[in-house]
Amino acid sequence: MNLHEISSGLKARGRYALAGHLGTAFGAILVYLILCFILLQMVANVFAGDGVLFFVLYEVVTWLVLTFAGLFSYGLCRIFMSWQYGQKAEFSDLFAGFRESTNTVLGIQAFLSGLELIFLLPSGIAGSFLAGTQGLVLTILLGIAGSLLILYLQLTYGLSYYILLDYPSGTPLQILRASRRMMKGNRGVMFYLFLSFVPLFLLGVLSLFVGDLLVFAYLYSTEAAFYRSLAAIRSGAHAPTGQTAGSAT
The pLDDT tens digits of the residues spanning 73-96 come to 999 999 999 999 999 999 999 999
Residue-range definition of the domain harbouring residue 74: 3-233
Examine residue 243 and state whether it is found in any structural domain, yes or no: no
Centre a 10 Å sphere on the Cβ of residue 123 and count the other Cβ atoms it contains.
19
Cα 80 from Cα 13, distance rounded (Å): 12
The number of distinct structural domains making up the chain is 1
pTM above 0.85, yes or no: yes
Examine residue 214 and state whether it is found in any structural domain, yes or no: yes
What single string gives the DSSP state of each residue in 4-25?
HHHHHHHHHHHHHHHTT-HHHH
Q: Name residues of the chain where pLDDT drops below 50.
A: 237-249
What is the reported pLDDT for 132?
A: 82
Examine residue 229 and state whether it is found in any structural domain, yes or no: yes
Chain-centre distance for alpha carbon 159: 8
Examine residue 248 and state whether it is found in any structural domain, yes or no: no
Examine residue 190 and state whether it is found in any structural domain, yes or no: yes
What is the reported pLDDT for 249?
A: 36
What is the reported pLDDT for 86?
A: 93
Examine residue 239 and state whether it is found in any structural domain, yes or no: no
Examine residue 8 and state whether it is found in any structural domain, yes or no: yes
What is the reported pLDDT for 105?
A: 98
Examine residue 238 and state whether it is found in any structural domain, yes or no: no
**Residue 17 and residue 221 in contact, taking contact as beta carbons nearer than 8 Å:** yes
